[in-house]
Amino acid sequence: MGPSAITERNAEASPRLKARITGVVYLLYFLTAVLGEFFMKGLVVSGGAAATANNILAHQPLFRLGLATGLIATACYVAVTALFYDLFKHVNRSLSLLAAFFSLVGCAILAFASLFRIAPLVVLGGGQYLSAFKVEHLRALAFLFLELYGQAVNICFVFFGVYCLLIGYLIFKSAFLPRILGVLMAFAGLGWLTFLSPPLANYLSPYIQVLGVFAEGSLMLWLLVMGVNVAKWEEKASVWRVSGA
């Protein structure tokens, strides 16, 4: 057995530990995502450009903290995506890779959209080159950037919807995680896909968010507390190694 084969076998020696590490990173994502939204809560007033601008200027440190925490949450989800690929590649490598692709595209869109979220700080920052614009115009422009951020988030939800569907299928077929978790993830994915039609998504938004948090939260807690069925995981890994997939 060559060094590379020994390294690969050692890397796969503790599937339960790998699952729990995934659960820990997943938990970090949840914590940072919730904190990011908490810091931003109440700063953006729906339909109120002036009120939103005043809130941002009055609470700049909080707004920046929300931005930073949101970026950390996105980075955590990139890590979760990589860990899930490694966990499920033995079930179906092609689908696991495809799922990772959709998730990474969603994360990339979300990271890029952060530019729209930070733009109001630049617009409202009072730079000398902005003196040519009226205050009302600057406030409207800042609010427009936040609206664009919201639209970008809607787009990334579609990619995360496909990701959740694929992860749900992989869980269902894996045998080393409870199938109910796969069903929940698949339903959560269908919920996120409603953002293909924003009016429908806005109407169903409270239910979609509850379902999404419940599905991903359940998966996170299971990985964190229970890990995976080691015997079933090893069985899948053994078949994967023999087939050379």
Transcribe 109-178 into DSSP letters.
Answer: HHHHHHHHHHHHHHHTS--GGGTTS-HHHHHHHHHHHHHHHHHHHHHHHHHHHHHHHHHHHHHHHHSSS-
Going by the DSSP 8-state scheme, the letter that residue 44 receives in this structure is: S
* pTM score of the predicted model: 0.87
What string of pLDDT tens digits covers the 245 residues of the chain? 444 444 444 444 488 888 999 999 999 999 999 999 999 888 888 878 888 888 888 889 999 999 999 999 999 999 999 999 999 998 999 999 999 999 999 999 999 999 999 999 888 876 666 666 678 888 888 899 999 999 999 999 999 999 999 999 999 999 899 999 999 999 999 999 999 998 898 899 899 999 999 999 999 999 999 988 888 878 777 766 666 55
